[in-house]
Amino acid sequence: MSKVKVAAFTVSLDGFGAGPRQDLQNPLGVRGEELHSWFVETDVFKKMNEQGEGAHGIDNDFAAQSMDNLGAWILGRNMFGPVRGPWKDESWKGWWGDNPPYQTPVFVLTHHSRAPLTMEGGTTFYFVTDGIKSALQKAKAAAKGKDVRIGGGVATIRQYLTAGQIDEIHLAMSPIFLGEGEHLFSGLNLNALGFTSIKTVASEKATHVLMKKR
């Protein structure tokens, strides 16, 4: 059955999913890259970025599971790039080069229209200007029965959580304190939203927590 899910999304021990002051030099915010030490050494990440073999084990297993049965992604505009306001031109094509890792349709939430962007490897970015409900409808249609992954950032995940649209969450808890940035769960009551924790697995670099809606 098709699900709407958050998968392999990393947060600090104090609940931040990105650091402050995101820009071209700090796409994940200041110190944001520290969150992802569990991921960048995995075989999944290395092969995704054409860097040869990587590590296997618990972290790699969760990274691989996060890619299972994916039919479409939804991203906030900050996840696509640092450009703000109206698109000055269409020269910015994302952080990932000509062959992004998504390999499915990707629906980018934005207030400013832009033509679809077709990349190598099966990734096409569609820019959705009429809200999260429309983006989800489009993503489900494009996924053709497979899962839709809400890829972030924090604000986008929070919007879909508040709207009651997420079925499953996998968080990788990184053993660091950021102290500031974008807080994932501030003001949200996950119990009231219907979530319960069903599995927790610790590796050397992260604690993986799987939550599902009751």
Q: Which pLDDT value is given to residue 54?
A: 93
Q: Quickly state the pLDDT bin for 90 (edges 50, 70, 90).
A: confident
Q: Which pLDDT value is given to residue 141?
A: 97
Q: Rounded mean pLDDT of the chain? A: 94
Strand partners, 11: 173
* CA distances to 22, 66, 67, 141 from 147, in Å: 29, 10, 10, 11
* Structure confidence by residue, pLDDT tens digits, 107-139: 999 999 999 999 999 999 999 999 999 999 999
- The answer, yes or no, to whether the previous bond of 122 is cis (omega within 30 of 0) is no
Arithmetic mean of pLDDT, 3-11: 97
Structure tokens at 26: 């700090």
pTM, rounded to two decimals: 0.94
- State the Cα–Cα distance between residues 176 and 158, nearest whole angstrom: 22
Distance linking the first and last C-alpha atoms of the chain:
15
* CA distances to 44, 95, 102, 139, 169 from 38, in Å: 11, 20, 20, 29, 18
Which residues, in sequence order, are CB contacts of 56 under 8 Å at separation 6+? Answer: 42, 43
- State the Cα–Cα distance between residues 90 and 60, nearest whole angstrom: 35
Hey, what domains does the chain have and what are their CATH numbers? 4-213 (3.40.430.10)
Arithmetic mean of pLDDT, 185-192: 94
* Structure confidence by residue, pLDDT tens digits, 164-180: 999 999 999 999 999 99
Element (H, E) at 170: strand 168-174
Q: Which pLDDT value is given to residue 204?
A: 92
pLDDT at residue 25 greater than cutoff 90 = no
